[in-house]
Amino acid sequence: MSLCQLSLEIGKLNNRFNILDHDLLKVYSGIRNIILRISTPGRNSSNALLLGSHIDSTLPSPGAADDGMGVGVMLDIARVLVDRNEPFDNSILFMWNGAEETLQDGSHLYSTQHPSAKDIKAVINLEAAGTTGGALLFQATSKEMIEAFSHAPHPRGTVAAADVFASGIILSDTDFGQFEKYLNTSGLDFAIVGHSYFYHTRKDIVEFVEKGSAQHFGDNVLAIVDHLLTNSSALSTGAFSPPDMVYCSLYDTWFFSWSMKAADKAYLVIAALVTISTFANVKWGKPMVLTIVGAPLGLVAGLLSANAVAGLLTLTGKRQLWYVPFRNSSLKNRFSHEHLPLVLYVPAGFLGHLGLQYFLSRSISPVDRKPLEKYHYHAQMIFSTAQMLALQAFRIRSAYLFAVITSIMLSGVAVRGAVGKGVWKFILPFTLLVGATVEAVTSVRSPPDLGC
């Protein structure tokens, strides 16, 4: 029989909070946290897993997704554990904290003052920065917790999301930061991030929370909870290994992870294959040097042309031209589509890139232009390989993205060697690149159809 203990924490404290590299001394009072502990009598319940979500919202947002969804998912997981009435090792703490939106006061209060905080061995934080899509894993702070995430039935997470969040480009934080700092433990940080236009606005209401998002969130977190509670060693010591792992998911179905040491070896093999392929298929001279120089310059030109379109829209007062909410009541005033910016900026980027290549090709004779297509293909492989090795040298785990791109391009070289000339040599790499692009574009948007 499950043992449930419910408590209410009310407190005041001061907190030295760092924001944008500036220390801020905060004093807060009247903060309320609701804590539910579920354990099995007679089992080792001193080691605990913490699930956290916040019960406050920003003005004027109703907070249906941020963080009503997280609150609801936690309530349902608690219900499932109680209704099952099955014994499990360790224990689980559900903490619905206040004052997250005022720079994490509630999680700070719990982490530094509540008696149960000393039992916490791992943390799972549930958040939202949008209203659609599945739950994206954007922080995983140990090898063991990455392995726990692999048990999710609909894995959605990539180390690239973790790298972007850790870089500080996104000026945001969650309660996870307080848990990590004051509980000195590891964990996972999840968020619904699709259609962030409604984040912290009056549109964050149940009507705009996408069907299937909460189910996706709950299914994944429950599976991870089951793994951590039934594996007696998962929370036994709290001694976690560094997250020296590369990981990614594919279409909410497959999850892959490997160590950085394995990545070191794999990337060297890829680089060797690119080198061999290049020397076997190109002749070094001005055309090849031109394409090698043109690869990074093409990227710059593409960025400039895309930003030129953005500047033009800004000057004409149409900065969010793609964001036109439907007025048809049957469509529930939903946005047109958050991926429509791709229609504006991707063609512009390609135009800038290809325009530069055309300009560079004019600097050589027509006779020397004939092999430029093949040379440009190899130059792009070399550029992608250089980015892969540079990121890996700085131990940036997102290097795997360039390893994937380079490997796909190598498949095109292999096909060309097998079938010779013709369009067929482009079909395999094109298909694989389109598949990878679809995964990247949809990873923050559409949850799977879970029949709910």
Catalytic residue list: 100
* 421 burial type by CB count under 10 A (0-12 exposed, 13-18 middle, 19+ buried): exposed
DSSP annotation string for 197-256? GGTTSTT-SGGGSPTTHHHHHHHHHHHHHHHHHH-TTTTSS--PPP--EEEEEETTTEEE
Residue 312 and residue 319: Cα distance in Å, rounded?
9
Residue 446 and residue 374: Cα distance in Å, rounded?
37
* Cβ density class 348-369: b for 16+ within 10 Å, e for less: bbebbbeebbeebbeeeeeeee
Q: Are 400 and 263 in contact (CB under 8 A)?
A: yes
Q: Is the dihedral of CA 198, 204, 206, 211 positive or negative?
A: positive
DSSP annotation string for 112-148? HH-GGGGGEEEEEEEEESSSEEEEEEEEE-SHHHHHH
Residue 241 and residue 333: Cα distance in Å, rounded?
47
Of 194, 181, 195, 253, nearest in space to 220 by CA: 253
Q: Are 102 and 55 in contact (CB under 8 A)?
A: no
Residue 218 and residue 49: Cα distance in Å, rounded?
16
* Helices and strands: H and E segment counts in the chain: 12, 9
Residue 20 and residue 11: Cα distance in Å, rounded?
27
Which letter does DSSP use for residue 9 in this model? E
Spatial strand order in the sheet of 132-140 = 3-19, 22-39, 91-97, 48-54, 120-128, 186-194, 132-140
Which letter does DSSP use for residue 405 in this model? H
